[in-house]
Amino acid sequence: MRHAHTVEQVRAAEAELMAKLPEGTLMQRAATGLAVAISNFLGGTYGARVVLLIGSGDNGGDALYAGANLARRGAQVTAVLLSDRAHAGGLDALKVAGGRVGSTDDIPSTDVVVDGIVGIGGRPGLRAEALAAVRVAERYGVPIVAVDTPSGVDVDTGATPEPHVNAALTVTFGTHKICHFVDPAATACGPVHLVDIGLDLPSAEVQVLQAADIRALYPVPHGESDKYSRGVLGLMVGSTQYPGAAVIATAGALAGPVGMVRYVGPDAVANAVREAHPEVVGDGRVQAWAIGSGLGDELDIPRIRELLDADEPVVLDADGLKALDDSGDHVDVLITPHAGELSRLLGVDRATVEGERLKYARLAAETFDVTVLLKGATTVIASPDGEVRINTNATPWLATAGAGDVLAGLCGALLAGGLTPLDAASAGAYLHAAAANLASAGGPTTAITVAQSLPEATRRLLS
């Protein structure tokens, strides 16, 4: 599991550790890890040209000491000082190692720019001088390695309301920060490399589950299992308007851990479902529901509200979201909106939701007392008790019609298999993305192919 801590948590852990260590130890650890990462990024150090963009704080200090390290190993290192103040010890170390102070004119011919403008002490946005330097790097296509965080992003929310650095690599220290996982800032980080500096941290509200975590959650059948005890899922999805949604969601459900799937809907659609999936049966007792994908004209809000109020857990998707209200106990409900659907639920415009995905996923979880799975390039999952999980392993090829129906069916199956809404959402998002990676293999794919790749993705996870 990966953890993303807040700036406040990082500062507290840093203070505690610094009190026990000789002054400067943490910065040296950070700078050494940073220098190694930059050297690996460049594929070597000797003769490489490195420009450091230096702000007024310790983020610049990290960059200067890393620059000194690289200069000692034969790199030509130039610092561009963007503020009246620069970390004095770091600047001296750079000069002693043979580095020099230069200007933005050095940027076009360098191999890499190191963004030591601001880290966790920064406010969103870039001041004029910093912005001008970053623009030169962008204009000349020079890759930027960000120190701790890409300068200009909002570290604790992942929002990017102002201009910011777009990094080819981010090297962070001690723990991940929220901006490393939550879009749009996560995209601005590029790959994130974590350097251990020995911080002792409390539990984090934001987590990214890894394969081993999902494996531990997955409901694997055992010798005593039968099709009922494995869980039965009811599907209320698709319509004569969108029969494909029913077929696709059913494919997602059957590729989950359930023993049986029941389909409830118009005869013509039920026939289409059974033609594609003969194992599907009709109405009856279930352990969970997946409701809403492609319901179109079939949307029956009173019936959906009855099911939301009943004991069985529910995945509520797409059109079904129109039945959600903020009264009643919905802790066993998982909703799976994309940003547009979440914006309608909350009465906020879509761009605002996309700009602060973590905030609005959390707000919806709190307002409706549900677990929220907010779809997108990175998926944000927020539970009503404040826990947040981010899924980061998807491919943009997954942005294809019907992919959300597969996810709703799969999450329903995981709920029917006995997982909590938070765990069902986590395992669902992870496996959905893993299946998409198999289905796509770097090229176009379809929702049905993603569903068909789920068993193999699950097999690889469990083996």
* Interaction partner, residue 115 (K ion, ligand NPW, ligand ADP, none; CB < 5-8 Å by kind): K ion
Q: Which is nearer to ligand ADP, 133 or 182 (CB)?
A: 182
The minimum distance between CB 194 and ligand NPW, in angstroms, equals: 12
The minimum distance between CB 189 and ligand NPW, in angstroms, equals: 13
Restricting to residues 395-414, name those near ligand ADP by CB under 6 A. 395-396, 398-399, 401-405, 407
The minimum distance between CB 152 and K ion, in angstroms, equals: 9
Neighbour count for residue 356 (Cβ, 10 Å): 20
Phi and psi at 169, nearest 5°, equal -160, 140
Output b/e per residue, 67-92; b: 16+ Cβ within 10 A: bbbbbbeebbbbbbbbeeebbeebbe
Q: Which of 388, 394, 416, 451: binder of ligand ADP (CB under 6 A)? A: 394
> Per the annotation, where are the binding residues for K(+)?
59, 115, 151
In angstroms, how far is the first alpha carbon of the chain from the final one? 19
Judged by the rule CB under 6 A, the positions of this chain that interact with ligand NPW are: 10-11, 14, 26-27, 30, 55-60, 62, 83, 117-123, 125-127, 130, 147-148, 173-174, 197, 199
Distances (CA, A) of 454 to 44, 85, 216, 219, 390: 40, 54, 17, 15, 20
Restricting to residues 135-164, name those near K ion by CB under 5 A. 146-147, 151
173: Cα separation from own chain's centroid: 19
The minimum distance between CB 353 and ligand ADP, in angstroms, equals: 13
The answer, yes or no, to whether the previous bond of 396 is cis (omega within 30 of 0) is no
The backbone region for 376, taken as left when phi is positive above 0, alpha when psi lies in -120 to 50, beta otherwise, is left
Q: Which is nearer to ligand ADP, 112 or 192 (CB)?
A: 192
Q: Which is nearer to ligand ADP, 35 or 236 (CB)?
A: 236
Q: Which is nearer to ligand ADP, 258 or 431 (CB)?
A: 431
Tell me 220's DSSP state.
-
> Per the annotation, where are the binding residues for AMP?
375-379, 404
- Told to check if 379 binds ligand ADP by CB under 6 A, we report yes
* Interaction partner, residue 399 (K ion, ligand NPW, ligand ADP, none; CB < 5-8 Å by kind): ligand ADP
Full 3-state SS string of 24-93:
CHHHHHHHHHHHHHHHHHHCCCCCCEEEEEECCCHHHHHHHHHHHHHHHCCCEEEEEECCCCCCHHHHHH
How many residues line the site for K ion (CB under 5 A)? 5
* DSSP E strands, 324-383: 333-335, 371-374, 379-382
Would you give the binding string for ligand ADP spanning residues 332-371, x where CB under 6 A is met?
------x---------------------------------
> Per the annotation, where are the binding residues?
58-62, 115, 119-125, 148, 151, 245, 294, 338, 375-379, 404-405
Tell me 281's DSSP state.
B
Assess contact for 79 and 68: CB atoms under 8 A. Answer: no
> Per the annotation, where are the binding residues for (6S)-NADPHX?
58-62, 119-125, 148, 245, 294, 338, 405
Interface ranges with ligand ADP (CB under 6 A): 338, 375-377, 379, 394-396, 398-399, 401-405, 407, 432
